[in-house]
Amino acid sequence: MSQTIAHPEASEVESSHGHHAELSFFRKYIWSEDHKTIAIQYLFTSLFFLLVGGLLAMGVRYQLAFPGVPVPIIGSFLPSWLVTSAGAIQPGGYNALFTMHATVMVFLVIMPLLIGVFGNFLIPLKIGAPDMAFPFFNALSYWLFLLSGIILLSSFFAPTGFPASGWTSYAPLSSHAQYNGTQIGQSCWCVGLFVNGLASIAGAANYITTVINMRAPGMKMFRLPLPIWALLITAFLLLLAVPVLSAAAAMLFCDLNFGTSFFSSSNYGQPLLWQHLFWFFGHPEVYIMIVPAMGLVSEIISVNSRKPIFGYKAMVFAMVAIGVLGFIVWGHHMFVSGMNLLLSATFSFSTMVIAVPSAIKTFNWMGTVWGGSIKYTTAMCFALAFVSMFVIGGLSGIYMAATPVDLFIHHTYFIVAHIHYVLFGGSLFGVFGAIYFWFPKMFGRMMNETWGKIHFALAFIFFNCTFFPMHNLGLNGMMRRIADPTQYEHLRSQQPVNIFITLSAFALGLSTIPFLINFFYSMFKGPKAPINPWKSTTLEWTVPWPTPHGNFETTPTVYHGPYEYSVPGMEEDYLPQNQPAPDTVRLAAH
C-alpha cells in the first residue's frame, strides 16, 4: 500500500513510506512521520503533563486549605522561590503554582490531548486517507510542542522560578521585572507559548489541508464524522487565533527584556492592549478546548445509543456558529477592566448569543439518547457525564455574561468553578471517554471495563465535590488568585469549605491512579481487541491492528453518512460507511 500513496517523485523520502520493517528505530519511534505514532507520542507526553499540572493543582489546594503550614515531607526539598525556609508555600510561590498549573493544563494537556492526540489519530483514519497531508510538519509539530513544554517548565530551575502573573499574564505586572520579580520565568512563558503556537499552527494548517483535500471517494463534507468536523473547525480557530497570541507574547517579551513600552503605563503604552490581544486569542482558545471534545462525545454517544446522531447538520452548524461567534465575544473577560462601558454592553450581547449553539448541541445530545438502546460502557459514562457537566459549566457562564452580575462575581471562585466545569468536567471527561473508546484501535487491546467504571465513579463524584462548592465560595466573595483566604474577615468562615474542597481534590487526583494502572496494564496485558469492538460504522474500525503505515490496503469508498445505526430492515444494527446499504432498506438521510 505504501506504493499507492508514495508519490513517484518523492524519492528522497521513500524510506518514510516503506513498510515498518524497513524503518530504523529512530524513524519508527523518535522522528516518526506516521500520524498514528505521532498521536501516541502526543498521548504519553500530555498524560505526563497532566500529572505535572495536577500536582501543581495539589500544591494550590494544599495552600488554600492549610495556609502557612509547611508542606509535609517534600516541603524541605522545594526551591526557595516557592517555599519559606520552614517549607511552607509562600505567597509569591503560590502565584507561580496556579500560573503554571493553568498554563500547563491549557497548553500542554487539554490542547495536545484533544488536538494532538485525537486530531492526529482520527483524521486520516476517519476520512480514509493514508496519512496527514504533511507528515514532516506533523512530526515537527510534536517536537515543537515538547520543546515548548520543556521551555515553560525549565524556569523551575531559575533562581526566581516560575512565572507568577497568572495564565493571563496581565501587563504591566507581567511586562516589568521590577513588578513581577520573575524576569526569567516570564520570559520563558513568552518563548514557550510562542513555540507552542508554532506547533499548533503547523498542526492546524496540516489538518485543514488534509480534511479538505484527502477525503476518500464518496466522503462528502456532510458525511464526515462529527469529530472530524469539530477538529476542522478547531483547526481554523487555531490558525486564526493563535498567531495573535504569538504577536502579543513577542511584544511582551520585548517589553520585558528590551525595554519597549507596548504595555507599560508610561511612554504612551497601553496595559489594556495586552488584555485585548490576549483575550482575542483567549476566548477562541476556550472553544478550541471544548469543540473537539463535543465532537468526540457526540460520536461516543451515538455509537453507544446504537442510534444516529440527532440532528447531524444542526450539530455541524452549531459548531460552525460557535467558531465564528467565538471571535467577537472576547470582551466578556474585560467587563470591569476599565474598557469602555458601551463595549461591555455589546460584548455581553454577543456572549448571550454564543450560548445558543451550545444549547442546540445539548438538546441534540438529549435527542440522541432518546429512544436509543444505551450501552453503558466506560466511554459512554464519561460522554454522558460530559453533557451534564458542560451544562453546569455553561449555565454558570450565563451569570457572568450578565454584566451587572459579573460586576459582583468577576475574579471570584465562581469563575474558577466555571473554568473547571467546562474544562475538566467538559474537555477532560471528553478526553477520558475518548481514550477508553479508541484505546482498542490505538493499542490493539481492550481496557478493563470494571476498573474503568471505578475510575469514572470516583472521578465523577470527587470532581463535583471539588468544584461545585466553589460556586458558593465565589458568591460568598472569595477572590481567586489569593494565597491565603484567612486574611479576609468575610472569608474566614469559609475555611471549612476550602478544606473540604482540598480533601476532595486530593481524592480526585488519586482517582487518576486506577486510570493510569488500567491504561498501562491493558496496553500490554489487556485482552486482544476485535477489529470493531463497539460495532461502529466509521472507517477507522475497518483497519486491522497494528494498522500498517498508509492505513488502508485499498482506498475505501464511502456510501453514506457516518451514523447509520439500527437501520430498519437490517439484522445487524449498524451499517459501516464503506458498505452500501442493501437495496431492501432506505436510509433516512444523506
Partner 1 sequence: MLKQSSRTSLAFLAMVVLLLIASGVCGRAAVRTSDLWWMPEVASKGGVLIDKLTYFIYYLTGAVFVLTQVVYIYFLVKYRSRKGAKATYSHGNNRLELLWTGIPTAIFIGLWGYSNHLWWDVLHAPTPPDTMEVGVLAYQFGFSFQYPGADGKLGQSDVKLIGNDNIFGNDPNDPATKDNFQSSVLELPINKPVRVRLNSRDVIHAFYVPQFRVYQDIVPGRTIDWVWFTPTRLGSYQLACNQLCGSGHYNMKAQIEVVTQEDFDKWYKEKAAAAVIPAGNAPAQSK
Partner 2 sequence: MHAPATTVHNEGPDIVRFGMLTFLASEAMLFSGLIGGYMVLRGGAGGGWEMPEALKNVETMVKTIVATLCLISSSFTLHFAESGLIKRGKGGKLLLLLTILLGAAFLTNQALEWASLRSEGFWFNTAGIMGSCFFVLTGFHGLHVLIGVILLITALIRALTGKVTPRQHGFLDCTGLYWHFVDIVWVFLFTILYIL
Could you give the string, one character per residue 413-452, with x where binding to partner 1 holds by CB under 8 A and - elsewhere? ----------------------------------------
Residue 2 binds to partner 2 (criterion: CB under 8 A): no
Among 17, 36, 101, 560, interactor with ligand HEA by CB under 6 A: 101
State which residue, 229 or 262, has the beta carbon closest to partner 2.
Answer: 262
Q: Of 165-173, 247-255, 485-493, 580-588, which part binds partner 2 (CB under 8 A)? A: 247-255
Q: Smallest distance from the beta carbon of 506 to ligand HEA, in angstroms?
A: 5
State which residue, 47 or 195, has the beta carbon closest to ligand HEA.
Answer: 47
Residue 283 binds to Cu ion (criterion: CB under 5 A): yes
Q: Smallest distance from the beta carbon of 339 to partner 1, in angstroms?
A: 9
> SS3 of 83, please?
strand
Cβ(377)–Cβ(304) under 8 Å? yes
Burial 560-583 (b: 16+ CB within 10 A, else e): bbbbbbbbeeeeeebbbbbbeeee
Among 351, 522, 536, 577, interactor with ligand HEA by CB under 6 A: 351
Tell me the site size for partner 2, rule CB under 8 A: 54
Cβ(385)–Cβ(304) under 8 Å? no
Query: Residue 375: CA atoms inside 13 Å, Cβ hemisphere, count?
Result: 15
Q: Which does 205 bind (CB under 5 to 8 A by kind): partner 2, ligand HEA, Cu ion, none?
A: partner 2
Could you give the string, one character per residue 409-448, with x where binding to ligand HEA holds by CB under 6 A and - elsewhere? -x----xx-xxx-xxx-xxx--------------------
Cβ(160)–Cβ(74) under 8 Å? no
Cell 436510509 sits on residue: 587
Between 35-65 and 91-103, two packed helices, what is the crossing angle to 10 degrees?
Answer: 150
Question: How many residues make up the chain in this entry?
Answer: 590
Rounded Cα distance between 12 and 130, Å, is: 19
Residue 468, H or E segment:
helix 449-475
Residue 240 binds to partner 2 (criterion: CB under 8 A): yes
Rounded Cα distance between 563 and 567, Å, is: 10
Rounded Cα distance between 238 and 37, Å, is: 22
What 8-state DSSP symbol labels residue 105? I
Q: Smallest distance from the beta carbon of 505 to Cu ion, in angstroms?
A: 24
Rounded Cα distance between 58 and 76, Å, is: 17
Among 178, 524, 525, 583, interactor with partner 1 by CB under 8 A: 178
Cβ(226)–Cβ(297) under 8 Å? no
Residue 343 binds to partner 1 (criterion: CB under 8 A): no
Residue 256 binds to ligand HEA (criterion: CB under 6 A): no
Rounded Cα distance between 418 and 467, Å, is: 9
Listed in sequence order, the residues at least 6 apart from 110 whose beta carbon sits closer than 8 Å to its beta carbon are: 289, 423, 427, 428, 431
Cell of 190: 513568552
Tell me the site size for ligand HEA, rule CB under 6 A: 59
State which residue, 67 or 426, has the beta carbon closest to ligand HEA.
Answer: 426
Binding positions for ligand HEA, 265-294, rule CB under 6 A: 286, 289-290
* CA–CA distances in Å: residue 398 to residues 277, 354, 576: 23, 10, 40
State which residue, 182 or 536, has the beta carbon closest to ligand HEA.
Answer: 182
Residue 58 binds to ligand HEA (criterion: CB under 6 A): yes
Q: Which of 131, 176, 127, 185 shows the shortest CA–CA distance to 156?
A: 185
Residue 567 binds to partner 1 (criterion: CB under 8 A): yes
Cell 513517484 sits on residue: 8
Binding positions for partner 1, 217-276, rule CB under 8 A: 264-266, 269-272
Listed in sequence order, the residues at least 6 apart from 332 whose beta carbon sits closer than 8 Å to its beta carbon are: 283, 347, 348, 350, 351, 400, 401, 406
Binding positions for partner 1, 359-418, rule CB under 8 A: 359-360, 362-364, 366-367, 369-376, 381, 384-385, 387-388, 391-392, 395-396, 398-399, 401-405, 407-408, 410-412
Cβ(99)–Cβ(185) under 8 Å? no
Q: Which does 10 bind (CB under 5 to 8 A by kind): Cu ion, partner 1, partner 2, none?
A: partner 2
Residue 481 binds to ligand HEA (criterion: CB under 6 A): yes
Tell me the site size for Cu ion, rule CB under 5 A: 1
Q: Of 10-18, 378-386, 393-401, 545-553, which part binds ligand HEA (CB under 6 A)? A: 393-401
Q: Smallest distance from the beta carbon of 289 to partner 2, in angstroms?
A: 19
Cβ(430)–Cβ(386) under 8 Å? yes
Helices (H), 66-134: 91-103, 111, 120-127
- Interface residue list for Cu ion (CB under 5 A): 283
- Interface residue list for ligand HEA (CB under 6 A): 50-51, 54-55, 57-58, 60-61, 98-99, 101-102, 105-106, 110, 166-168, 286, 289-290, 332-333, 351, 354-355, 358-359, 362, 391, 394-395, 397-398, 400-401, 406, 410, 415-416, 418-420, 422-424, 426-428, 466, 480-481, 505-506, 508-510, 512-513
- Interface residue list for partner 2 (CB under 8 A): 5-7, 9-10, 12-13, 16-17, 33, 130-131, 133-137, 140, 201-202, 204-206, 208-209, 212-214, 239-244, 246-248, 250-251, 254-255, 258-262, 267-270, 273, 276-277, 280
